[in-house]
A and B are shown apart, each in its own frame.
Chain A
Amino acid sequence: MPKDRLPREVIAMRIAAELNDGDYVNLGIGLPNMVSNYIPPGKQVMLHAENGVVGVGPSPEEGHEIPDLFNAGGQPVTLKPGGAIVDHAMSFAIVRGRHLDAAVLGGLQVAENGDLANWIRPDRGVGSIGGAADIARGAKRIFVAMEHTTRDGELKIVKRCSYPLTAARVVDTIFTDVAVIRVTPQGLVLEEAAPGWTPADVQAITEPTLTVSPNLREIQL
């Protein structure tokens, strides 16, 4: 009997819990961007958008959009008090200069050594790297938010990425719909599993061998 996988909202909530008060963080498009909805009110997290916004605020109400203020996904956003606008060179100086505390990125494949592939499906033949290569290499901690396997059941956590890399040896932690897995010099460590999932269940859909953390627990929010 197939076990329940966590909804994307819960993955986003789990990652939000990982962010620290005072952090400056970049969120990728899609699932990573959902993290912004779940940052606890007591924590001040300033979001960086690579198109030059530091301190991205919530979406404006319809009809109250601020002219020329968008996030990196092209959606209208607001600016938090204390936010700032920078040009593209400075935006990526923030990224490359390791001034971001964390980035949350999507993933097509993550390898056991922390390699990340998230910009092109080889069968398409052409893809857009955008800011992903700089962000994955530049932020101090890289969190990957993704489903544990593809819709067709192909493994996404692999020994070695077969897709072209975004950045090599950069991922710190993988947050999926079944597990939280830390990348360490000794390999992948299973830290948390979704309710009802045993380490063997997670291992069955993970190519590299997982070390089970002595502190293994159910995913907590």
Chain B
Amino acid sequence: MARTIICASAAEAVAGIPDGSVIMVGGFAARDAPSLLVGALVDQGARDLTLICNGPTGRPGMKDTSMLVQNRQVRKVICSFPVPSTTSGPMTDFEAQYRAGEIGLELTPQGTLAERIRAGGAGIGAFYTPTGVGTPFGEGKEQRTIDGVDYVLEYPLVADYALIRAQTADTMGNLLYRMSSRNFNPIMAMAARTTIVEVAEVVPAGTLNPETIVTPGLFVHRIVVRPPQ
């Protein structure tokens, strides 16, 4: 029997996520977020979450991680893009809560964020990166010069749960992604103890070309199918 469970609903897929969990959420911008799962987590109501994502930058009404912030389920965000680059338009919930001291932020350069997640999934204890040397992103971090290049030490990120989005899963949990919606999803799938995926379709094991599979099913625990949009 396959270890990966195909859930009947998004509510079932996010059931049991406790308060205080560390949650990774895939997607680069609001339009490729795993919005079905994020919406289900809003309904489920787990609080005091640490959120690891590219950024909760959606304006009110957008179906991305900003919904969790708006619903006050998030204690701290680790991300590269916490606020929209322009101040035109209404202030996001994240920015309002941040200004009020109600939410924490660990601002991380995007490549460092990706590599910290990759390292978390790959069992790497820490790594030296040249990004951030001589800037606020390197302050207070261990520095080292290797072959004449300056680096700062960065630590991996792991999560209790990853909520990600893919295009196609097979019944063993092998995943294919569509175009640029791949982004953080494959590395987050590796870095969480429980990885939950929303997909457009599930096909029988054995029908996908094994050479094109991006995320092998051993990283995937729960799957839910997105209703057609």
**Binding between chains A and B:** yes
Mark A residues whose CB is within 8 Å of B: 29, 49-53, 66-72, 74, 79, 85-89, 91-92, 95-96, 115, 124-135, 137-138, 164-169
Q: Given contacts A68-B167, A132-B109, A164-B136, list 19 more A-B pairs with CB under 8 A.
A: A51-B180, A52-B183, A68-B180, A70-B29, A79-B179, A85-B177, A85-B179, A86-B182, A87-B183, A92-B115, A95-B111, A96-B111, A96-B129, A124-B87, A125-B99, A126-B105, A128-B80, A134-B131, A167-B135
**7 A-B pairs with the lowest CB-CB distances in the bound complex, closest first:** A168-B134, A92-B111, A134-B111, A133-B109, A131-B110, A69-B179, A68-B181
Interface stretch of the complex, out of B40-48, B184-192, B218-226: B184-192
B39 on the A face (CB < 8 A)? no
Contacts of B135 in A (CB 8 A): 133, 164-168
Minimal Cβ-Cβ distance residue in B for A164: B136
Interface residues as binary, B158-178 with A (CB distance below 8 Å gives 1, 0 otherwise): 000000000100000000011
In the bound complex, CA of A124 to CA of B91 (Å): 12
Minimal Cβ-Cβ distance residue in B for A116: B135
Interface residues as binary, B48-89 with A (CB distance below 8 Å gives 1, 0 otherwise): 000000010100000000000000000000001111110100
Partner of A68, one of B98, B130, B178: B178
B117 on the A face (CB < 8 A)? yes
Q: Is the CB of A68 within 8 A of B32?
A: yes
CB distance from A82 to the nearest CB of B (A): 15
Q: Which of B83, B135, B182 has the most CB of A within 10 A?
A: B135
Minimal Cβ-Cβ distance residue in B for A79: B179
Minimal Cβ-Cβ distance residue in B for A106: B85
Instruction: Give the bracket for the number of chain B residues in contact with chain A.
Output: 35 or more
Q: Is the CB of A87 within 8 A of B185?
A: yes
CB distance from B99 to the nearest CB of A (A): 7
Partner of B83, one of A72, A127, A138, A164: A127
Q: Is the CB of B179 within 8 A of A89?
A: no
Contacts of A137 in B (CB 8 A): 130-133
Contacts of A49 in B (CB 8 A): 180
Q: Which of B110, B115, B178 has the most CB of A within 10 A?
A: B110
State whether A134 and B112 are in contact (beta carbons under 8 Å apart), knowing that A126-B105, A127-B83 are contacts in the complex. yes
Partner of B136, one of A67, A88, A131, A165: A165
Q: Is the CB of A70 within 8 A of B31?
A: yes
State whether A130 and B80 are in contact (beta carbons under 8 Å apart), knowing that A50-B110, A137-B133 are contacts in the complex. yes
CB distance from B1 to the nearest CB of A (A): 29
In the bound complex, CA of A128 to CA of B177 (Å): 27
* 10 A–B pairs (Cβ distance < 8 Å), ordered by A: A68-B180, A71-B180, A72-B28, A85-B180, A96-B111, A128-B85, A130-B109, A133-B137, A138-B130, A138-B131
Q: Is the CB of A126 within 8 A of B110?
A: no
CB distance from B22 to the nearest CB of A (A): 18
State whether A88 and B109 are in contact (beta carbons under 8 Å apart), knowing that A29-B85, A70-B29, A131-B80 are contacts in the complex. no
